[in-house]
Structure 1
Amino acid sequence: MNINLFQTRVWKHIRYTVGLGVAASLVASLTGCSSLTQPIDGVPAHRLPPEFFPAPKNNLVPVDIALLSLEPPRDYQLGPDDILGVYIEGVLPFNPPNTPPEPPPVNFPEQDSTLPPSIGYPIAVQDDGTLSLPLIEPLEVEGLTLDQVREKIREAYIDNDILREEKARPIVTLIKERTYDVIVVREDGLGESNQRSLQAQSSEFIRGRDNSASGGLVKLPAYKNDILHALVETGGLPGLNAKNEVRVLRASEADKRKRAQFVRDFYASQRNAMLDPCVCPPELPPDPSILRIPLRLPPGVIPNISPEDVELQDGDIVYIENRETEVFYTGGQLPGGEFPLPRDYDLDVLGAMALAGGGIGQTTGGSGFGGARSVGGVPPGMLYILRQTPCNGQVAIEVDLARAVNDPRSRPLVQPGDTLILQYKCEEELLNFGLGTFFTYGIQELLRN
């Protein structure tokens, strides 16, 4: 066959196939282009004001955990419910005249106690802070050290002519310190098993979050009745699937009444707002009666944590809340699903796409036009972030992926509740369809002739 004739036929079929592809692309653009049939009115990310974006958390600094504990005094100061070991020769126990004194009993501490062995007969400090001993009036001992109590007992028995000065040698030791009953409720799973690592906790959160809470009653010794010891007793600091804060609900009646009044005021304001359809119902503000202690703060911010904040009393509740709502959703050309946001570092849109399984430059193999998109090989280039605003509103943030790769300012951070929808631009669909048509039908027609 003449070579010129063969080349003429080849170019004829190529022009025919390309023309067919262009014609089909024009038809497709009128009937199947998702940017036309499913339009999303978005605002470019670089044009939105800062209030539409979450605050970065990459630079948050952990709070010094020493601020969550109490500084114990140099010498233990007594209080109600302390149990003392007291031995007073000739009085406690009573010895008849001309009989040898009995040796004081030895008391060994409980298994989990850090106290040394003590001697003496157990006598508890009463609720009013007094110590009742034989033959004398109750002594005020609250706030005193063991040495001060020992000297006060000695003086009392000498002043009442019960013991001579050379015989008054009382022994006072601490058998058991007072404790505080605190309730700890954890939704991070660490309270059930202290042996699981934080990495395992994170994996469990990603596979399928378990929102069940674990709780229990913790007995904290005096001067260890603080938030840090309560957390250590129940598994340590909050895990990765918990919020970076600790909440404390006080058990006092005043705080309970304050919380109840806060709830009543909130629902009253909601009812009043519902009477006017043009007024946005208020959101639930933070309860002022609940103490919130952050565990991470921006650089330069000094935490305002006082010893009174971290000190726990009987009946107080320490609450570790999970972050089950800190997720984002995906759709469109991205695999649909719900994905957790990292707790301690930022996640921008490119990282979110990679987490969802749709990286930059990756074709999704959509189903449009008989799979021609996947044959064309041009990836989708437009991402929309549907972000909620107050009063059940919504803003659509438009992210051009080509610009986002080259400009960090065009890569907004993902915040909880966002929905990421990946779409083809119209020209991308046309190009994919044209290329797919050529490689599918044009080459077949060329080989056939």
Structure 2
Amino acid sequence: MVRPSTRTPDHLRNHSLSFFDQMAPPFYVPLLYLYPNDGTAPYDDDLVESRTRLLKLSLSKALSTYYPLAGTMTTTTTAGDGHHDPLTVRCNDEGALFLQARMMNTPLDSIVGEEARLRLLFPDDLAFRSTTLSTLLVVQITSFECGGMGLAVCASHKVLDMSSLCSFVNHWAATSAGGPRHRIEQSVRFDLAALFPPVSKQVTKTFDPPNVRTVCKRFVFGGPSIGKLKAMMRRHKIENPTRVEVVLALVCSSAISAARTCCLSSSSYVGSRSRLGSAFLTQAANLRSRLTSPSSTTSSIGNLSSIFAMSIGAGVEMDLISFVSTIRRVKTEYFETCSEEYSSGKDFRSFIVESTKVFRDAGSSEEPDVAQPRVYISSSWCNFPIYKADFGWGKPVRVTTAAQELKDTIVLLDTRDGDGVEALVCLEEREMTMFQCDKMVLTFADVAYV
């Protein structure tokens, strides 16, 4: 365990989770940073030991600032239903779990292509998994024979969203690197529980994934391909389309098409009743820059994001242009309503709970003949500063995440050059086969590292 370098003061010993922390799913968010050989010998025990020592020392210092990450989660039983909801972090300086490993017979530049080996780089198979561990932060460094290094971070989503996770890792990296070129960013705040207190009732739902075989694959949309997609949008009067809009629209529309094709081709296809209904695309929304006040939320650590959804009616055929247009319209309307609700003086939390209803109710019907809507869960990690993490031996050559096992999920990340998008898509096995053959996917994406 790596503990904070300084003891957490008594008045900070209990960190209350906010309403948004309460809404967050109870799993670990994984990020993997890959660093190439910097010109030293292929494998140097002394160098590995030196870097490991530096990482531990700087992590200890970083945990003194991000002290809740060195604590343990406690639970409170919600009155009436017996539901155990984590509402408090005991900031007891227990520390973060720090693991070390060595990868044999696999070059760094090919590890992303071998999903089984890639998952070994993440701590104890925690990526996107719920756990009984009370530890909130787990780190694993993996040394490669080529001299490269993998640094995996798994942090509890109950205390960090992607914005806060990036802030923490970059703070840790700057502490490790030192020097004027690696300035540590502004001070951080842990005030979200005061701004958005938790509610007493259960607002999240735990559900088991369907018992179907899923496949998660990586697709890279390079800058030139995205440029062509943007040009297509502009020709149809969609101004300034973003990378996320065009890639998400292409991926989701192609996934829906694959699901419908599989359903229509076989009446015995598993779960066919759910594929004949309508579909929803949910998107995670970072609210830090969307709230009119307080401005301090930009440096507040914790969760400050929500979910909104667009619907696609049963049997409705929506081309890529319409899909992008609808994504933009729904997103714009959501953020406008969000700002209005926050500024109105009403209970902002009620609005957030209602906006996540589609996600929370997914698969809730027990009627065998009722066509349930398909819910595609997307999260964009684009435009977060994930490639800034220089611990003193250069910036990462690649930053990625682990493959998910929950079907109908889409995670988007930046490519290293900032122009492209890497999409991790998890679908039912047969649907993935159809998805890969989709004309738009074949035209604009590369099946990467499969």
* Alignment TM-score, normalising by the size of structure 1: 0.21
CA radius of gyration, larger in: 1
* Alignment TM-score, normalising by the size of structure 2: 0.21
